[in-house]
Amino acid sequence: MMSAAWHTLRELLLDFRHLGGLVGAIGVFQSWDDEMRDHCHLHYIVSAGGLNGDDRWVSVRNDFLVPTPVLAAKFRGKFLAYLKAGFSRKVPSGQARPEKEILRPPNGMTEQQCLNLFNKLGRKRWHAQIEPPYEHANGVFKYVGRYIRRGPISEKRILRYDGEMITMGYAHEDKHDQSTFTLSAHDFIRRILNHVPEKGTHVVRSYGLFHPNSIEKLDAARKLLNQGPYVPKLHIPSTLELLSRMFPTRNLGRCPHCKTELRTIFICRGGQASAGKLAA
């Protein structure tokens, strides 16, 4: 789904009729609705401009990205095509597709029934929504952060629990006839767990100028916009730092005998990875 969305954006925005440049995009996958039922959809943050083939910055015209019906139709075609290809035993190059990557029909359906359903969905109108651009980065952070950190429901939405039933408020009250809904404790837990991603699942991805392999292009774009080079603000703590935070009363950074500050000089990794030397 995320690949289909990015390929749709990339193809449309590289077209000079819409923008004619490579944009940066961050995609977030969300699997729930206001009542924590299954509702798989994507949220994308897209830069309001990109680098063209001459390495010049081109901005969107009149805050207009692409026509929404065109975006929805293009995504529909790509997403359904990728789903159909997933049932194939071979990849486009002709090589055998790994067994674990082959899609299987859900219980009660055959592969042909799935393909027939895809064809039926291809004749329906799909929904896409494009919001106006943000005036500053803080708006972007708040928007993406809601879906990355909060999960299916925030604590402040849980209003009452009587030992059996849980009453919650809607995140978007304007879309519902009432302001609250109620679930049994069993259903509440089941719906929460249903949206826990499998281990290794990436629910947030970066594309285009924001991809880790495109730092040079990103810096070129930032220079054209009179900005400095990109510098990651994320500090990944060392093992010693993490242990010190976990056990603040223990002096883990010094030798228990001579009290000399400890330094990491050698790391022995298991498996096939080679050993490495570090200066802490």
CA-based diameter of the chain, in Å?
76
Give the separation between CA 258 and CA 251, rounded to whole angstroms.
Answer: 12
Give the separation between CA 128 and CA 190, rounded to whole angstroms.
Answer: 29
Give the separation between CA 62 and CA 60, rounded to whole angstroms.
Answer: 6
Using the 8-state DSSP alphabet, how is residue 232 labeled? -
**What pLDDT is recorded for position 267?**
63
Residue 43 or 147, more confident = 43
Six token digits for residue 217: 């292009």
C-alpha closest to that of 189 among 162, 164, 159: 164
Neighbours of 263 (CB within 10 A): 10
3-state secondary structure at position 192: helix
261 has pLDDT over 80:
no
Q: Which residues pair with 51 in a beta bridge?
A: 22, 57
pLDDT digits 0-9 by tens, 200-243: 888 889 999 999 899 999 999 999 999 999 887 777 777 777 77
CA distances for 204 relative to 19, 197, 201, angstroms: 25, 12, 9
Give the separation between CA 154 and CA 192, rounded to whole angstroms.
Answer: 11
Residue 153 or 14, more confident = 14
Backbone angles phi and psi of 57, in degrees to 5? -85, 130
Region of poorest pLDDT, from 4-8, 157-161, 256-260: 256-260
**What pLDDT is recorded for position 172?**
83
Using the 8-state DSSP alphabet, how is residue 51 labeled? E
pLDDT digits 0-9 by tens, 62-119: 888 899 999 999 999 999 999 999 998 888 888 888 888 888 999 999 999 999 999 9
CA distances for 152 relative to 11, 122, 168, 194, angstroms: 32, 29, 12, 10
* pLDDT class of 10 with cuts at 50, 70, 90: very high
Residue 58 or 150, more confident = 58
Rounded mean pLDDT of 239-260? 77
Only one residue has tokens 């408020």, namely 169
pLDDT digits 0-9 by tens, 21-62: 999 999 999 888 888 999 999 999 999 999 998 999 999 988
**What pLDDT is recorded for position 273?**
45
**What pLDDT is recorded for position 90?**
86
**Where is 200: in which H helix or E strand?**
none
**What pLDDT is recorded for position 268?**
64
**What is the average pLDDT score of the chain?**
86
C-alpha closest to that of 161 among 178, 182, 179: 182
Alpha helices per DSSP H over the chain: 2-14, 68-86, 111-121, 137-149, 185-194, 215-224, 239-246
Only one residue has tokens 């401009």, namely 49
